[in-house]
């Protein structure tokens, strides 16, 4: 069974986006200092354990449930994830066609 793995580079990119969201919401008063600390710890601990795309989707759902400020990022992640999955499927199809042409 094929599993989509979340790269460390992608996790780092997500951490940066989430940190920017935390700071922006803290600065405008939408997030308290205590909630900033809790959400930061949750993100760092949660992303550390993510290996597969489905785990990342679950992580984002829980994150948005705990802190609604992350709802938009969850939607953005879903759109990017869907696009990345489609690109992977298209590449796999191109590879399969190329391989079948090489064997004939």
This prediction has a pTM of: 0.68
Flag residues of the chain having pLDDT under 70: 1-3, 74-93, 103-104
- Are 53 and 85 in contact, with CB atoms under 8 Å apart? yes
- Are 81 and 54 in contact, with CB atoms under 8 Å apart? no
What does the pLDDT read at residue 1?
A: 45
What does the pLDDT read at residue 71?
A: 85
Quick one: which of 37, 46, 62 has its CA closest to 14? Answer: 46
What does the pLDDT read at residue 86?
A: 59
What does the pLDDT read at residue 32?
A: 96
């Amino acid at each position: 069974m094929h599993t989509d793995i979340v790269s460390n580079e992608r996790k780092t990119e997500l951490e940066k986006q989430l940190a920017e969201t935390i700071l922006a919401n803290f600065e405008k008063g939408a997030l308290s200092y205590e909630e900033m600390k809790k959400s930061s710890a949750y993100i760092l601990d949660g992303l550390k354990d993510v290996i597969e795309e489905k785990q990342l989707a679950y992580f984002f759902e829980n994150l948005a449930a705990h802190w609604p400020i992350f709802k938009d990022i969850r939607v953005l992640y879903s759109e990017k994830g869907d696009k990345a999955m489609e690109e992977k499927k298209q590449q796999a199809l191109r590879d399969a066609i190329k391989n079948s042409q090489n064997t004939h």
